[in-house]
Amino acid sequence: MGAGALAICQSKAAVRLKEDMKKIVAVPLNEQKDFTYQKLFGVSLQELERQGLTENGIPAVVWNIVEYLTQHGLTQEGLFRVNGNVKVVEQLRLKFESGVPVELGKDGDVCSAASLLKLFLRELPDSLITSALQPRFIQLFQDGRNDVQESSLRDLIKELPDTHYCLLKYLCQFLTKVAKHHVQNRMNVHNLATVFGPNCFQ
């Protein structure tokens, strides 16, 4: 066998080995997915609560992301404005839904975790600010701002379903922390509202 033919055979063998390794690595995840897969994105907040997939009334996946971002992301410049790698975000989503232990610092990064949180909110069947109440929220803001309207806003928020109210409250508490670090992360209240408005209203 000539040197050229030998090189071609070795190259093909290397390609086959690489493909076989990919299959071997993928098997445990696929097997586990078959047995433990549980849809977390695109599921109503009420359904997640019914299935016991919440922590203190907050979807567990959101709780994990926010805890990670609170510890590692508050001073990240462009937090929530700079998108994470699409492939990494999708891999994190699949890991969470496959029941595989997820280490956001190891399996992803701050930007991908932030993008995953926005993705969760976007895919809710009924947005965080429910479609039934959205016209009234919009009308309230179009009317301008004063003490009476602030009181009306509080009353309106209380009309949200309990699961939506709890998540909105939790999210606002977290975003208040983010805004306090606006000098480092460049995300003041206005910037955060610009990013989260479309994710909370559909």
Q: Give the residue-averaged pLDDT of 29-45.
A: 74
The yes-or-no verdict on residue 75 having pLDDT over 80 is: yes
Give the integer Cα–Cα distance in Å for 153 and 128: 15
Q: What is the mean pLDDT of the chain?
A: 86
| pLDDT of amino acid 39 | 96
Let me know how long the chain is: 202
Helix (H, G, I), strand (E, B) or coil at 6: helix
Amino acid letter, 34: D
- Tell me the CATH number of domain 43-199, given options 3.40.50.300, 3.40.50.150, 1.10.555.10, 1.10.150.20: 1.10.555.10
Predicted local distance difference test score (pLDDT) of residue 11 = 52
Note whether 64 and 97 are within 8 A (CB): no
Give the residue-averaged pLDDT of 27-49.
Answer: 75
Q: What residues does each domain of the chain span?
A: 43-199
Looking at the chain, the whole-number percentage of residues with pLDDT higher than 90 is 72
Write down the residue that tokens 């093909």 correspond to.
12
**161 contacts 45 by C-beta, under 8 angstroms:** yes
> pLDDT tens for residues 89-116?
999 999 999 998 999 999 999 999 999 9
